[in-house]
Amino acid sequence: MVLKYSFIIPIYNEEETIPELYRRMAAVMDGLDGAVELILVNDGSRDRSLMLMRELREQDTRVCYLSLARNFGHQVAVTAGLNFARGQAVVVLDADLQDPPELIPKLVEQWQHGFDVVYAQRIQRRREGWFKRLTAFVFYRVLKHLADVEMPTDTGDFCLMDRQVVDVLNSMPERNRYIRGLRSWLGFRQTAVPFERDPRFAGDVKYTFRKSLGLAINGLVSFSTVPLRLSTYLGMFSACAALVMAFLVIYWRLFYPTSPLTGYAIIAAAIFFLGAVQLFSIGILGEYIGRIYDEVKNRPLYTLSEASGFTEFQSQSKSRRTPPELQQRSLEQ
Ligand code: UDP
Ligand code: MG
């Protein structure tokens, strides 16, 4: 049987939302015109999420799950799902119902019209904190400005991708994965479907400020080298500033020999300013070098502790150990 649709949902401590998520997903899946698989990816949850996933798998054979051996982060969890998805169209969405499953038929419709990537674009975020809204607003606009590729604003990972696109995405070896950026980078025929982002159904936000900041820096550094150039600009700027100061000092010496401005203050300011510029530039260099180091290490992107519902691995799924070929597959695909 050829699978037509795959749904990938990363899950990190979402025990409160899973039953409702399944209910709404099942309703959507029932209405689709082809065989469906629902891939739940447990990203090292510490609550009952994995247990609930096992139960769902027993109830409904359309449900499959992967369990990462620890918390690897949202982007890696989605990547694992993409590695295992077999459908002709693959949809990625969040577990917390902020990405309404009911939008899926609209995404599918665009896919049937011939688009390879159909991403959902937020027109409104309902009841999310002002801080999150403001930082997201600024970030997406800065990124759009700096990135080497055209990236649509206000789009997250909620999207539908054609098999062809998923295959290419899976073949990309980079490990600092900013999926929504890679997706734009790929090209193909892309289109947006607008939607209103609902508030989280239950539980707390799993993307802490630190994780969001990490994702934002990753997005910037992976898709733009403008920050590297920033140190050149800062260097030029401080050289000009130094020149102006030198002229001022000479001027004051000649015409206002008693001016206190030629004293310590100006020296201290210059030292602090240069120190800041240098530290900042080293920090930017560090961001890139850290990523090069990360890529060079070439570790597997994730390790699996359990998988169920993927026919090739059915026999292994009973034992709780990760078969080596399962770990391998994650990278080689
Ligand atoms: N998530 C994950 N691993 C993490 C953090 C989050 O798999 O380390 C999942 C989480 O379960 C949810 C999705 O990523 O399905 C988005 O998380 P959240 O709703 O907290 O983020 P936000 O809505 O703020 O983007
Ligand atoms: Mg959310």
Average pLDDT over residues 147-155: 80
CATH number of the structural domain 5-210: 3.90.550.10
Distance, in Å, from the CA atom of 304 to the CA atom of 327, rounded to the nearest integer, reads: 6
- Greater model confidence, 291 or 112: 112
Q: State residue 236's pLDDT score.
A: 80
C-beta separation of 157 from 123 below 8 A = no
Kindly give, in sequence order, each residue whose CB lies less than 8 Å from that of residue 223, ignoring residues fewer than 6 positions away. Answer: 143, 146, 147, 148, 149, 151, 178, 181, 185
For the record, the structure tokens of 61 come out as 């054979």
Q: State residue 265's pLDDT score.
A: 63
Distance, in Å, from the CA atom of 123 to the CA atom of 39, rounded to the nearest integer, reads: 27
Q: How far is the CA of 323 from the centre of ligand 1 (A)?
A: 27
High-pLDDT (> 70) share of the chain, %: 90
Tell me which ligand sits closest to the C-alpha of residue 200. Answer: 2
Which residue lies with its CA nearest to atom 21 of ligand 1? 207
End-to-end Cα, the chain, rounded Å: 21
Kindly give, in sequence order, each residue whose CB lies less than 8 Å from that of residue 82, ignoring residues fewer than 6 positions away. Answer: 8, 90, 92, 166, 169, 170
C-beta separation of 82 from 157 below 8 A = no
Which residue lies with its CA nearest to atom 8 of ligand 1? 73
- Of the candidates 112, 125, 80, 81, the one whose C-alpha atom is nearest the C-alpha of residue 191 is 112
Of 84-88, 211-215, 233-237, 238-242, give the range with the top mean pLDDT: 84-88
Neighbouring CB atoms inside 10 A of 124's CB total 12
- Greater model confidence, 249 or 32: 32
Average pLDDT over all residues of the chain: 83
Q: State residue 251's pLDDT score.
A: 83
Q: State residue 318's pLDDT score.
A: 43
Q: State residue 310's pLDDT score.
A: 87
Prediction pTM value: 0.74
Tell me which ligand sits closest to the C-alpha of residue 21. Answer: 1
The answer on pLDDT for 315 being more than 60 is: no
The answer on pLDDT for 115 being more than 70 is: yes
Tell me which ligand sits closest to the C-alpha of residue 98. Answer: 2
- Greater model confidence, 319 or 293: 293
Distance, in Å, from the CA atom of 301 to the CA atom of 327, rounded to the nearest integer, reads: 9
C-beta separation of 56 from 48 below 8 A = no
Q: Is the dihedral of CA 235, 241, 246, 247 positive or negative?
A: positive
Average pLDDT over residues 208-227: 81
- Greater model confidence, 329 or 92: 92
Kindly give, in sequence order, each residue whose CB lies less than 8 Å from that of residue 280, ignoring residues fewer than 6 positions away. Answer: 231, 234
Q: How far is the CA of 199 from the centre of ligand 2 (A)?
A: 8
Average pLDDT over residues 11-38: 93
27 CA to centre of own chain: 28
The answer on pLDDT for 86 being more than 80 is: yes
Q: State residue 312's pLDDT score.
A: 57
Q: State residue 146's pLDDT score.
A: 81
Q: How far is the CA of 126 from the centre of ligand 2 (A)?
A: 11
- Of the candidates 96, 89, 67, the one whose C-alpha atom is nearest the C-alpha of residue 201 is 96
Which residue lies with its CA nearest to atom 25 of ligand 1? 207
Q: State residue 111's pLDDT score.
A: 94
The answer on pLDDT for 319 being more than 60 is: no
Distance, in Å, from the CA atom of 161 to the CA atom of 189, rounded to the nearest integer, reads: 10
CA distances to 11, 28, 96, 300, 301 from 122, in Å: 21, 20, 16, 33, 29
Q: Where are the domains of the chain?
A: 5-210, 226-297
| pLDDT tens digit sequence for 158-173 | 999 999 999 999 988 8
The answer on pLDDT for 306 being more than 70 is: yes
3-state helix, strand, coil in the chain (%, to 5): 55, 15, 30
Q: How far is the CA of 274 from the centre of ligand 1 (A)?
A: 40
C-beta separation of 28 from 102 below 8 A = yes
